[in-house]
Amino acid sequence: MPGSVYVFNLYNEPITNLTIGGYPAGSINGYSNGSGAPRYTPASLSVPRTKYPAGSGAFAIGDNSVVIPWDSFRGMAMVTIPNPGTAPVSLDDPLILLLAVNEAILLNTRGYVLSTFPVQLANAMLESVEPEPAS
């Protein structure tokens, strides 16, 4: 059975209706504000993996269009899941995808970064926006 991609929201706003390849995958709360869980603990969503695009909100081997609708703006990224034939990642291996405002980071469960992908931001009118600078 194929593994999953565990998607973590590293922003304080919730992701409402994350889509993979144009199909809904689910929603993810914003990171913890400290009430109950340690502060800045990211929330996550388990998304299935498939060998080929399956017409559902799953990650397939190769390029996957990801739309990240936060409350204030929308992020878009092209996330590439490695091909087991050319990378040391089995289809059965669970993966981790960290979604930050400006970048998506794909890791294996041993903490090895497999790849990073830029996140393009747009407002509700789909006009490009710049994230707030780090302070």
Note the pLDDT tens digit of each residue in 16-53. Answer: 999 999 999 999 999 988 777 788 999 999 999 999 99
Residue 71 phi/psi, 5-degree rounding, is -65, -40
Burial 56-93 (b: 16+ CB within 10 A, else e): ebbbbbeebebbbbbeebbbbbebbbbeeeeeebeeeb
Report all structural domains of the chain as residue ranges with CATH numbers, in order of start.
Answer: 4-122 (2.60.40)
pLDDT digits (tens, 9 = 90+) for 47-105: 999 999 988 999 999 999 999 999 999 999 999 999 998 888 999 999 999 999 999 99
Report which residue type is found at 69. Answer: P
